[in-house]
């Protein structure tokens, strides 16, 4: 399947923001709701929602409704092989970044009820 330069540019633009890379790394650890991601990134909910929308539109992530929660997760079976390739090599590029390591620690301790109940 051949992709146009425009489609390739859209994919690279999705990866061009450090917060979107952080989100991808977080979601490789576990699925999260927007409140949890917002709490870790310390950004406005609207900003995080925009980042999630960009990642979802390109095919990196999926969202799944579970009761009152909307969980975001890495797309386990993207139709585009380029997405799979990028996701499988993210560790090579950024797993040793201090911010990514710190985010991973925060994810292990985050309490969804506490974070989203504020």
Across 30-60, b (16+ Cβ under 10 Å) vs e yields ebbbbbbbbbbbeeeeeebeebbebbeebbb
pLDDT higher than 80, residue 3 = no
> pLDDT band at 1, cuts 50/70/90?
low
Per-residue pLDDT at 105: 94
Q: Where are the beta strands (DSSP E) in 67-107?
A: 69-74
Half-sphere exposure of 67 (CA within 13 A, CB side): 1
> pLDDT band at 71, cuts 50/70/90?
very high
Per-residue pLDDT at 57: 94
Q: Where are the beta strands (DSSP E) in the chain?
A: 61-66, 69-74
Average of per-residue pLDDT across 6-28: 94
The structure's pTM equals 0.91
The set of residues, in sequence order, having a beta carbon less than 8 Å from that of 118 and lying 6+ positions away, is none
pLDDT higher than 80, residue 118 = no
Domains of the chain: 5-116 (1.10.10.10)
- CA-CA distance, 88 to 81, in Å (whole number)? 11
Per-residue pLDDT at 2: 67
């Amino acid at each position: 399947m051949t992709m146009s330069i425009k489609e390739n540019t859209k994919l690279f633009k999705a990866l061009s923001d450090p917060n979107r890379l952080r989100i991808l790394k977080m979601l490789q650890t576990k699925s999260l709701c927007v409140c949890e991601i917002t709490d870790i990134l310390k950004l406005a909910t609207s900003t995080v929602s925009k980042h999630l929308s960009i990642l979802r539109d390109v095919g990196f992530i999926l969202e799944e409704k579970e009761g009152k929660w909307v969980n975001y997760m890495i797309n386990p079976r993207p139709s585009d092989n380029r997405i799979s390739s990028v996701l499988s090599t993210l560790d090579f590029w950024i797993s040793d970044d201090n911010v990514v390591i710190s985010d991973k620690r925060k994810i292990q301790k985050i309490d969804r009820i506490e974070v989203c109940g504020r």
